[in-house]
Structure 1
Amino acid sequence: MTAGPHARSVPPRYPDGFRDQVAEYIRAHAGSPEGTFRAISVKFGISKALVGVIADEIGLADAWTDGVARTADATTARRTYLAAQRALLQEDLLDTAADLTSRLHDDVTHLHVVKTIPEGIDADPDEDGGFGFLAAERVEHTILPPGPAEWRSTMTAIAAATRAAIDLAKLDQGQDATGQATGMLEQFENSLRAARAERERLATEAADEGP
């Protein structure tokens, strides 16, 4: 039987407890990115109007206002936490720069790997010109005053730490501290890694050249 043109549409019937689930979700998430009218309607498969009706029925008409306030409070707390972390990191960076500066003229230890012939082994080569044993190795070290190469690598690390501390201070002076902090810290880490690699390269070259 076909309904007449004036037949009233029957609203869909939802499972028992369905409205309670929607209401609980509204209470928990209203005002957050996942708690907008559209997000809730999509999640539960209902109209945005029904979302508003359910909120009104249970006295949650202001839930979105409260949710926005909670989100704002959480954002403020997060910013405060990040500011405190930046302050601690800034202190560490300045301490690192000061420590490196104090050690700028300290002597530098160079390590050398020396091959030796084991005791009691004939050191004469065999018919093929080789030796019938594996040479033993020991590590020796030489302490020398720092030279231009050591000063350059140390100053690079000092400059990187100082620059990172200054950038952190700039962030706290009103610049955006969310995306820039990560990039800045990555640059600092890369600078220190480059300085460390340069120092290791110079040490290797010095070891190859010998004392």
Structure 2
Amino acid sequence: MLRFLSGKVVSVFDTLVVLDVNGMGFELLCTGRGAEMCREGENALLVTHLQFSEAGPSLFGFADDRERDLFLKLTTVKGVGGKMAMNILKSAPAERVVSWIAASDTDSLVKIPGVGRKTAERLCFEMHRHFEGLGTDLNLSPEVFTSGETHMDIAMEGLRSLGFAQAELLPVFRKLKAGNVSADGDLSPEQWIRLALKELKRN
């Protein structure tokens, strides 16, 4: 239902975008990346989600399906509604939010306006189940987890699918490998990913 909208950008104020779609003006509350894609007077396509609540309908705009999927997962957390989930994605890129949650980095999460300590803890706890099936729940392509590559290679490809650049990943994995993190046996792709996310957070 209303999966995306394409039209001319009428105005952009912070992350509030007005889109003219065939003469109809749609007001969308967008993520930071979604708003950055919009230039007044130019055409734009935004992935959308229409949400109904007691306060009425709200239309949210995203840069891509990955952002929308993360938004929908965030709203499954108790106490996190559409506007708070959007505020989280307005404050930080989706891949950074993923890294904070995966690493249980509540200190970074509480820096987001409106996110208190209890909400940050709930986000880390309740979102954990989405990271257990990393290949499907975070929209990583299935071929990422095929055989023929080392678990470290698979993990690196998985993080690239989440938006991390190869240039920032290579030194992190070199450091982890040099530190003999797999001395007790080869780690699973999920374990490599979690270690890499923690290291990326420190940088």
TM range (shorter): under 0.3
Name the structure with the higher helix share: 1
Name the structure with the higher strand share: 2
Which structure exhibits the higher relative contact order, with contacts defined as CA atoms closer than 8 Å and separated by 6 or more residues? 1
TM-score (norm 1): 0.19
